[in-house]
Amino acid sequence: MADERVVIGAETKYPLNGILTIPNETNGLLPVVVLVHGSGPSNMDEKVGNNYPFKDLAEGLSEKAIAILRYDKRTLVYGEEMKNDTGLSVKEETIEDAILASDFLRKDSRIDSNKIFIVGHSLGGMLAPRIDAEGGNFAGIIIMGGSPRKFEEILMDQNNDVLNSLNKFLKIIAKKQIKALSSKFDNIYNLSDEEAKSTLVLGKHTRSYYFKEMGQHPSTNYLKVLSKPVLILQGDKDSHVSVEKDFDGYKNLLGDMPNVTFKLYPNLNHLFMPSIYGKILKIKKEYKAAQHIDKQVINDISNWILSI
């Protein structure tokens, strides 16, 4: 494979470094995937602890004659100047750059413009249907460890999972903090946009507007009307999202649609790597162990793409 250094959004205010991986073995025009990160600032390899899931996907899929485009996330490169933007939403954080990435690929004469796919991981998976609808125009959508629920619902579940793992003393303190956060989330949709932009909900910079804007564009609205192919993947030891609420949530919503394929992997975590502890409280420790995306996941993604 050949890794080519590229820039996504070169003419914009926020140019981003990326890598376009081109397979060695090519037969005519290439199918390609755009990789879209999960939440938080993230580099083009989607480095988490000592793991590099996007690098694994690039290496694995390129061996199957599929090109891959990955790039640094805007909040990683421009986080300092963006943190004071009270109107920051997933549009500026993620969606605009994923659409620019798809536009970039359509201009490459080696790429089959009818075979541009999106692989969204975690939050990126939640946003993938919206990215497609707002200009990505992909041939198919792959959701890895995503959710059909609102982002704040998932965060509250994660907090409650942590709460249940604490000792009695810490539980009392954490319970108050979680209750306060819950009441902030409950009020988000009662705020006007201007009020939401001036109301902090998490830390020093994350405002209610970020959650409100995303919540007003639920992925379910896009998924329900999609006729193009969708592949939904999750590990059954994922401690960020749940099998019952998220993977089964997608199934309940889309299970009768012939264009949607589901795959649940035994003993894989949120990074689609072997689970070590299986608990959200120990997730940082788990991600310190250097691992790789399970080969079966890469095979399933490549087989699905090449069948379309």
**Active-site residue numbers?**
122, 238, 270
Give dist(CA 285, CA 278) in Å, integer.
Answer: 11
Q: In a 3-state reduction of DSSP, which class is residue 167?
A: coil
Residue 293 phi, psi (nearest 5) = -60, 135
Q: How many other C-beta atoms can be found within 10 angstroms of the C-beta atom of residue 52?
A: 21
Residue whose pair of structure tokens reads 């421009």 in the numeric block: 78
Rounded distance, CA 287 to CA 47, Å? 10
Within 110-150, residue ranges assigned H as helices are: 123-131
Give the pairing type, strands 16-22 and 2-8. Answer: antiparallel
**Which residues are CB-neighbours of 200 under 8 A, at least 6 positions away?**
206, 207, 208
Measured between alpha carbons, how far is 274 from 302 in angstroms, rounded to an integer? 20
144 phi and psi, to 5 degrees?
A: -110, 115
Rounded to whole angstroms, the Cα distance separating 293 from 58 reads 11
Q: Are 123 and 151 in contact (CB under 8 A)?
A: yes
DSSP assignment of 5-44, as one string?
Answer: EEEETTTSSS-EEEEEEE-SS--SSEEEEEEE--SS---T
**Alpha-carbon dihedral 23, 29, 31, 32, rounded to 10 degrees:** 60
Q: Tell me the sheet residues that pair with 6.
A: 18
